[in-house]
Amino acid sequence: MLKSAKALGLRGFARKLCISDEVRSALSLGKPVVALESTIITHGLPFPQNMQMAKNAESIIRNNHAVPATIAFMNGVPKVGLSLHEIEQLAGSAGSLPINKVSRRDIAYTMANNLFGGTTISSTMILAHMAGIQIFATGGLGGVHRGAEVTMDISADLEELGKTPVAVVCAGPKAILDIEKTMEFLETKGCMVATLGPPGVKVPGFYCRESNVTSPYSFETFKDAARIIESGHQLGLGSGSLLCIPPPPEVALEDSFIEAVIDKASHKAEKMGIKGKQLTPFLLSEIAHKTNGLSVSSNIDFVMNNAKAGSQIACELSKLQS
């Protein structure tokens, strides 16, 4: 079967990957595997919450009958399935050791210079796909930044969703972004976007349960989500999909409260001339500071919620494919 061929590294490029024994064996048996990114560990959350988040996300995936595969660059080596020690190393070094934030454009440089790197959604998708992993759970998506009509700051996550067949399970694009333009861009790139809920459900605005943008598609069960993913694979479409899970009401933040904080953080970034790959980490840390850590704990709750949903989707997909 194609799956086991992929898992065994028979797709040429995959030979360069270092895949953990556990992940390799799960893939070759067609068991559900869920990829996890590492930029959220190295640049998205402060220590020590980043470490707790990374470990808890793995446990939740295991408790939901799937195998976690945290992805990162360790000493220039692209690794799929970090050990606990490696997760601690990355989380503990955040803010001290130089760790690169790695999107598609940063991969070759990171490898050639033996750097440590946290993988964004974009590069996590690339490595997950090379390894043969079809599902990836995370917190929030990169997107079209506010003011992108001038700055052209559009996350590499969106290009990747258009051309790499991995399903990303997340809480939608953060409200630090222009959600409407993000959806337009994903449509242009051919990425299927669906949100858990009834038809007409809004795309969640990560921190808040809903943005003001209607989701292009919806799904009511994880089996429905798996059927969409599998249909894309069957035709060899080659594009990714975005599955949005609205955060549970008890962990979502109040819209008007977070809007005001985001506005201030965006203005500060502009005044300080912060742009490029520094912008998202700057905004996240400003918001964490201004909400006294409330954004950090809700961010972590969202990741857990998505890790659980991602595992359930991976289980349904594995049943469909067996």
Site for Mn ion contains 153 (CB under 5 A): yes
Position among 36, 121, 196, 201 found at the interface with ligand PSU (CB under 6 A): 121
Minimum CB separation of residue 145 from Mn ion in Å reads: 6
Residues 209-228 touching ligand PSU, rule: CB under 6 A, are none
Minimum CB separation of residue 158 from ligand PSU in Å reads: 9
Minimum CB separation of residue 45 from ligand PSU in Å reads: 7
Q: Give Cβ neighbours of residue 82 (< 8 Å, ≥ 6 apart).
A: 20, 38, 70, 71, 72, 74, 90
CA distances from 128 to 95, 105, 120, 243, 291 (A): 26, 16, 12, 17, 34
Site string for ligand PSU, 259-278 (x = CB under 6 A): ------------------x-
Residue type, 133: I
The region of 68-76, 152-160, 188-196, 288-296 touching ligand PSU under the rule CB under 6 A is 152-160
Measured CA to CA, the distance from residue 319 to residue 30 in angstroms comes to 9
Position among 68, 117, 142, 172 found at the interface with ligand PSU (CB under 6 A): 142
Site for Mn ion contains 316 (CB under 5 A): no
Q: Beta partners for 136?
A: 35, 168
CA distances from 72 to 17, 111, 122 (A): 11, 11, 12
Catalytic residues: 37, 174
Site for ligand PSU contains 306 (CB under 6 A): no
Site for ligand PSU contains 139 (CB under 6 A): yes
Closest residue by beta carbon to Mn ion: 153
Position among 20, 155, 211, 298 found at the interface with ligand PSU (CB under 6 A): 155
Site for ligand PSU contains 280 (CB under 6 A): yes
Tell how strand 18-19 and strand 77-80 pair up: parallel
8 Å CB contact between 102 and 117: yes
Q: What are 322's two structure tokens?
A: 């067996």
Q: Give Cβ neighbours of residue 273 (< 8 Å, ≥ 6 apart).
A: none
**Cis peptide leading into residue 48 (ω within 30°):** yes
Measured CA to CA, the distance from residue 100 to residue 278 in angstroms comes to 11
Q: What are phi and psi of 214, to 5 degrees?
A: -75, 135
Q: Give Cβ neighbours of residue 83 (< 8 Å, ≥ 6 apart).
A: 20
Residue 136's Cβ-count burial label (10 Å; 0-12, 13-18, 19+) is: buried
- End-to-end CA distance of the chain, in Å? 10
Minimum CB separation of residue 279 from Mn ion in Å reads: 6
Number of residues that bind ligand PSU (CB under 6 A): 18
Position among 70, 120, 195, 318 found at the interface with ligand PSU (CB under 6 A): 120
* Residue among 70 and 280 whose Cβ is closer to ligand PSU: 280
Position among 33, 34, 35, 39 found at the interface with ligand PSU (CB under 6 A): 39
The region of 12-20, 76-84, 137-145, 240-248 touching ligand PSU under the rule CB under 6 A is 137-145
Position among 7, 33, 40, 229 found at the interface with ligand PSU (CB under 6 A): 40
Place of tokens 């921190």: 207
Minimum CB separation of residue 157 from ligand PSU in Å reads: 5
Site for Mn ion contains 157 (CB under 5 A): no
Minimum CB separation of residue 1 from ligand PSU in Å reads: 31
Residue positions counted in the chain: 322
Residues in the site for ligand PSU, rule: CB under 6 A? 37, 39-40, 44, 103, 120-121, 139-140, 142, 155-157, 174, 206, 277, 280, 284
Residues in the site for Mn ion, rule: CB under 5 A? 153
